Amino acid sequence: MDILSDILSRMQLAGTLYFRTSFTSPWSVKVPSFEKVSRFHYAHRGRCLVRIEDQQDPVLLEQGDLIIITRGAAHTLFCDPTTENQAVTLDQVLEESGFDGTGTLVYGPSGTSHETQLVCGHFAFNKNASHPLLEALPTHILVKNYDETAGRWMENTLKLIGAEAGREQMGGDLIALKLSEIIFAQVLRIYLNAEGADKPVLAGFSDPNIARTLQAIHQNPSADWTLNELSRIAGMSRTSFATKFTQAMSISPGSYVTYWRMQIARQHLEESTMPIIEIAENVGYNSEAAFGRVFKKHFETPPATYRRRVQA
Q: Which amino acid is at 125?
A: F
Task: State pLDDT tens for residues 21-48.
Answer: 999 999 999 999 988 899 999 898 899 9
Cα dist from 80 to 58, 67, 128, 270, whole Å: 10, 17, 39, 46
- In this predicted structure, the answer to whether residue 252 has a pLDDT above a threshold of 90 is yes
Both 157 and 219 in a single domain?
Answer: no
Sort strands 66-69 and 140-143 into parallel, antiparallel or unpaired.
antiparallel
Of the chain, the percentage scoring pLDDT greater than 90 comes to 62
Of 145, 176, 197, the domain-final residue: 197
Q: How many CB atoms lie under 10 A from the CB of residue 276?
A: 18
Which among 219, 223, 225, 284 is positioned nearest to 1, based on CA atoms?
219
Both 189 and 240 in a single domain?
Answer: no
- Among the residue ranges 102-111, 255-264, 272-281, the one predicted with the least confidence is 102-111
Contact 164, 121 (CB under 8 A): no
Specify if 211 maps to a domain: yes
What's residue 249's pLDDT?
Answer: 93
Specify if 122 maps to a domain: yes
Of 146, 171, 197, the domain-final residue: 197
Contact 142, 70 (CB under 8 A): no
Both 98 and 184 in a single domain?
Answer: yes
- In this predicted structure, the answer to whether residue 309 has a pLDDT above a threshold of 80 is yes
Both 277 and 150 in a single domain?
Answer: no
Calculate mean pLDDT across residues 52-66: 90
Both 160 and 213 in a single domain?
Answer: no
User: Considering the chain, what is the average pLDDT of its residues?
Assistant: 89
Q: How confident is the model at residue 262 (pLDDT cuts 50, 70, 90)?
A: very high
Sort strands 88-89 and 14-24 into parallel, antiparallel or unpaired.
unpaired
Specify if 37 maps to a domain: yes
Specify if 58 maps to a domain: yes
Phi-psi domain of 90 (left: phi exceeds 0; alpha: psi -120 through 50; beta: other): alpha
Q: What's the structural domain count of the chain?
A: 2
Task: State pLDDT tens for residues 134-172.
Answer: 999 999 999 887 555 566 666 677 677 767 766 666 676
d(Cα 76, Cα 128) in Å, to the nearest integer? 28
Both 84 and 153 in a single domain?
Answer: yes
Calculate mean pLDDT across residues 255-277: 96
Specify if 263 maps to a domain: yes
Calculate mean pLDDT across residues 269-289: 96
Range of the domain at 278: 207-311
Task: State pLDDT tens for residues 77-125.
Answer: 999 999 999 999 999 999 999 988 877 899 988 877 789 999 888 899 9
Specify if 255 maps to a domain: yes
Strands of the sheet with 14-24, listed across from one edge: 104-107, 14-24, 115-124, 37-45, 66-69, 140-143
Task: State pLDDT tens for residues 167-186.
Answer: 666 676 777 777 778 888 88
> What is the separation of C-alpha 13 from the centre of its chain, rounded to a whole number of angstroms?
7
Both 173 and 215 in a single domain?
Answer: no
What's residue 257's pLDDT?
Answer: 97
CA atoms within 13 A on the CB side of 231: 15
d(Cα 275, Cα 277) in Å, to the nearest integer? 5
Specify if 202 maps to a domain: no
Both 170 and 292 in a single domain?
Answer: no
The CATH number given to whatever domain includes residue 143 is 2.60.120.280
Both 47 and 183 in a single domain?
Answer: yes
Of 197, 223, 240, the domain-final residue: 197
Output the pTM of the full model.
0.85
